[in-house]
Structures are given as C-alpha cells and as structure tokens.
Amino acid sequence: MSNLVLPKIDRSTIKKKEFILGKLKKFTNAENILSHQSEIKPYETDGLAAYKQTPLAVVLPENTEEVSKILKFCNDENIKIIPRGAGTGLSGGALPLQDAITLGLGKFNKILEIDFDNKCVVAQSGVTNLSITHAVQHKGFYYAPDPSSQLACSIGGNVAENSGGIHSLKYGTTTNNILGIEMVIMDGTICRVGGKTLDQEGYDIMGLICGSEGLLGVITEVTVKILKKTQSVRAALIGFSTIEDGGNCVSDIISSGIIPAGMEIMDKALIVATDNFAKAGYPRDAEALMIVELDGTKSEVDNLLKQVGDIAKKNNSNSLKLSKNEKERLAFWSGRKAAFPACGAMAPDYYCMDGSIPRGKLAVALKEIKKLSKKYNLKVVNAFHAGDGNLHPIIVFDGGNKDQFKRTEELGAEILKLCVKLGGVLTGEHGVGIEKRELMCEMFNDNDIQQQLSIKKSLDQKNLLNPGKVYPILRKCAEEGRVYVHRGEEKFPDLPRF
C-alpha cells in the first residue's frame, strides 16, 4: 500500500503503556482489556484491509459509565482513542494507531427496548443493523437503511458513517431514520440527544454526530425508527443498447413523478462479470442493465411497473422483464449483489470507489471513466445506485504488479475528482476515513475545512478522538485508497458488498 501518513506518534504514551493498562483496569473488568499481540491482532484493521496498524491496546467497555471514565482518563492523560463498532467500514475509519487505545463497542450488543407503541427500537451501539429488523419483523416492521454489510455492521457504526443502502432515495439514510442517540464526548460527558419524539429542541446535535465518523463522540446507544413493511414489492430488469439510453431512462422515471424503492444500473463489463459468476440470466448483449424496484400497495406497484416499462421502451430498451413473484425479484438482484465476488473472479485484486454524482451525469461519468481506464490501461467496471446517484466504479488489477498498483491508485483518485467535477461528492456511503482524506480539498476550501475542524475542537479540544481521519494531514490531493481486496482476502469475505 502507499505510504500512509498518520498523526505523529506520541512516544510518551507508548512508554507509559503499563500505567495506562493499570488505570484501565480500574474502569472496567481486567478481561475487557486486551494488550497481548495475539489478542489485539484482529483489531489491526477494519473493512479497508489494505491498511494495518497494531493498536497500543484494546479496551472493550461494558457500559456507558465505563466509556465515560475511559474517555475522561484519556483526555486528562493526552491519550488517543479510536472508537470501533463492528470494524466493517470501508474507508479505514477504525484504523488503529500505534499510540492509541482502540475502544471496541463489541460488548454493547443488547437491544434494550422494542417499543411498538412509539415505533422505535432502543439498541446499544454494537447491535448489528440486521438484528434490529429481526427483532421487529414478527409484527411486520423493519429498520429501513440496509447497507450491504447489514448482517455484521453495527448500528453505532451506521450512525458514525450515516450508512445508506440501496433504498436511500425513498427511505433516506441513517440520519433520516434515527430518533435519538446517547454519546460520550472526549471529556467524558454523557449526553442524550433526541429520544422517542420526532425532531428535537435546540440544535440538531444528532444530525451533526451522524456521519461524523467517530470524531466527535463515542456513540453508546441509538434509538431507531421502525417502519411497517410495504404490501407489495416488484422489480423490473431492463436492458439498453447504450449507456445514454439507460441514463435518460433514469431521469425520465424520476421526472414522471415515480420514486422507486431502488434503482440500479450496471455497465456491460459488470453485466458479463456478474452473469458469469451468478448465472443471473442477464441480457449479455446490453450495454447497460437497469434494475428498478417498486413498493407500495399491490395496484400501485403494478401500475408503476407498467409506467416504468413504458418509459423504458421510449428510451429504446432492448429487453424488459417484470418480476412475477418474490423468487424472480430476488433472481434479478442476485447478479448485482454478486458484483464484488464477480470482480474478484476477474483479477487478483480490485478497488471499489464510492463517489456520488447527479443522476443525469451518469453517461458523461461513464464515458470519462472509460477514457481514464484506457489512459491508465486498467479495466474498470461500474455499478451505480441510480436512484440516489451513488457510483461504485470498481478497478480490477493485479496488486503483485507494482506499476499496476500505482496506476490503480492514480486512476482511483482521478475518478473521485471527476465525481466532484460533475457536481457530486467524494463519498456517498463509505465515509472519508483515511482513504479519501487527502482528497477533501477537492470539495472543500480552507474556510470549509477550518469550520469543520473548529467544531471538532469544540468537542475534542486536544484532538484525541479518532485523529488522522477525515481531514487532510498532507493537505494535498494524494492518490489514496478505495475498497482494496487482494486475492479475495477481503476482511469480511462472507458479506455481500454492493
């Protein structure tokens, strides 16, 4: 991996490791403190497995008071803290530091309350996203944001990264689906914001914390809104002979007043790759393949699906399939959801990027990416959450070839810059973390970044909470990161990533 610049190491912290471990034992049970090499190894990286660093120690507190005491102690002693949920994040947000304590929230794994009267669930922050839905589905409810890692990712991590999923256009991201949080700021203050009501009085602190990537506070509890499942869900699988037709179809669907639950586009390279891998029955001659999912009442879904079919025809679609049952709908998705392993089968390594662009710019973006792909002589396949403009270009390459790897990094940075140039942003759902940190100046000027740093400083005076993440250290647009997978050795190979 490229040389990653991390915050300056505080040798004095490393020297007083034994003192720190001794103190930590006063705040939590001794077995919750890990410092032996074999114990802390699993914590040396997160979902962005290309970066590795052994932490000074790992502490796994059991309750909010313990978190508060640990943070206060670290604040007083100038010790850095790296909060960590399930460690599934794709931007290196939980990457440890040599002189920092990793504070894992793995023991915050209980659902505290299922409150159907208030249509919410109160969960400790280490509870997995999917287990919330599991806890309420017997009454027909679910939790809407569905990041692809929902089987393993924690709800606290979802708050930190403002996780989305494929249904964000209609149902929003985490920030739109939570009612309250409990958090601890670096000086140890425990603060509850929001609760079981809609909105809250005063500043929307919850909205600020959501997506702050663990830099402003440690989230210990989350109250999420639950929704009733819709009555009917169906999907359309539509092939186009040009990317432009596919892109225009997206715009026309939205312009007609339809808000699909999900809308995905794949380019030809990915259609072929996923169809080879998952045998999804995709039209292999299509240049662009679109999956449109609609939900609502039965007659509404049937009607909208027909409208979508008509719009597709007007945009020169050359194939159209409508799901007749749940099995077919899932089959439509099977290839798309296998995008990552399919890329893994094409070459030893791949990088997945996560820019967002205005929907209408898809054709331009893909054309430019094609040009860049030629320029760098690297294959790029593209998946696009067309509903919400989230573009995932995936570069396939051989990391064993140093030159290829260098070109991959350069190409990745150019693609993200392109997203910003087209009116989009660097990251739609993976977060900035360490991987896009040095590209922040593509989007923000000094004033913008200073304002954000000023907020950081107001809640963490000494910059001890998750330092080195999100904000540029180098202050240059470096060529860094993306989801990096080497020879299928993804950190969480069993998680579908889409």
Partner 1 sequence: MSIEAKKNFQISLDSDVLKPDDEQNVSEIIRQTYKKNLPIKIIGSNSKKFIGYNLQTAKTLDISNLSGIVEYLPEELYIKVKAGTPLSLIEETLDKNNQQLAFEPIDFGFIQNGKSNKGTIGGYVSCNFAGSRRFKLGSVRDHILGFRGVNGKGDIIKSGGIVVKNVTGYDLSKVVTGSFGTLVVLTEITLKVSPKKPSQSTVAIHTEDTNQVSKLFDKILSSSDEISGSVYIPDEPKNKKFELNKYQIFKFNDLKHEGSFLAFRLEGDQKSIEERKKNLAKELELNKLKTSTLDIHQSILFWQKVNNLELFKNTKNNILRAVVPLSNNKKLMKYLKNKYKYYIDWSGSLFWIEVADKDEMKIKEIKKFILEIDGYLAVIKRSENFSFHESLFTINENRLFISKKIKESFDPKRIFNPGKMYREI
What residues contact residue 114 under an 8 Å CB cut-off, 6+ apart?
121, 135, 136
Residue type, 30: A
Residue type, 350: Y
Compute CA distances 156 → 86, 89, 125, 436, whole Å: 9, 11, 4, 21
Site residues for partner 1, 130-189, by CB under 8 A, read: 140, 161-162, 164, 168-169, 172-173, 175-176, 185, 189
CA distance 59 to 102: 6
Q: Which is nearer to partner 1, 57 or 209 (CB)?
A: 209
- Give the contact letters, 112-141, x = binds to partner 1 (CB under 8 A), - = no: ---xxxxx--------------------x-
Q: Which is nearer to partner 1, 84 or 359 (CB)?
A: 359
Give φ, ψ of 271 to 5 degrees: -55, -50
Sign of torsion, CA 336 338 340 345? negative
451 binds partner 1 (CB under 8 A): yes
Residue type, 220: T
Q: How far is the CB of 443 from partner 1 (least distance, A)?
A: 6
463 binds partner 1 (CB under 8 A): no
Compute CA distances 11 → 15, 149, 179, 419, whole Å: 6, 36, 41, 40
Which residue in this structure is represented by tokens 């610049």? 5
196 binds partner 1 (CB under 8 A): yes
Q: Which is nearer to partner 1, 342 or 352 (CB)?
A: 352
450 binds partner 1 (CB under 8 A): yes
**Closest among 339, 330, 322, 328 to 237, alpha carbons compared:** 322
CA distance 35 to 230: 48
Give the binding range for partner 1 (CB under 8 A) out of 49-57, 110-118, 266-274, 315-323. 110-118
Which residue in this structure is represented by tokens 């050359």? 318
CA distance 320 to 325: 16
Site residues for partner 1, 336-355, by CB under 8 A, read: none
Q: How far is the CB of 196 from partner 1 (least distance, A)?
A: 4
| Residue selected from 30, 198, 327, 494 as contacting partner 1 according to rule CB under 8 A | 198
Query: How far, in whole angstroms, is CA 29 from its chain's centroid?
Result: 32
Site residues for partner 1, 408-447, by CB under 8 A, read: 423-432, 436, 440, 443-444, 447
Which residue in this structure is represented by tokens 């409150």? 115
Q: Which is nearer to partner 1, 98 or 200 (CB)?
A: 200
Q: Which is nearer to partner 1, 190 or 320 (CB)?
A: 190
- Give the contact letters, 245-274, x = binds to partner 1 (CB under 8 A), - = no: ------xx-xxxxxx---------------
- The answer to whether the CB of 95 falls within 8 A of the CB of 56 is no
Give the binding range for partner 1 (CB under 8 A) out of 190-198, 319-327, 337-345, 401-409. 190-198
DSSP 3-state of 57: strand
| Residue selected from 207, 281, 348, 496 as contacting partner 1 according to rule CB under 8 A | 207
Give the binding range for partner 1 (CB under 8 A) out of 16-24, 279-287, 330-338, 453-461. 453-461
| Residue selected from 470, 478, 483, 485 as contacting partner 1 according to rule CB under 8 A | 470
In 55-99, which ranges are E strands?
Answer: 57-59, 80-84
Site residues for partner 1, 283-302, by CB under 8 A, read: 296-300
363 binds partner 1 (CB under 8 A): no
Q: How far is the CB of 272 from partner 1 (least distance, A)?
A: 27
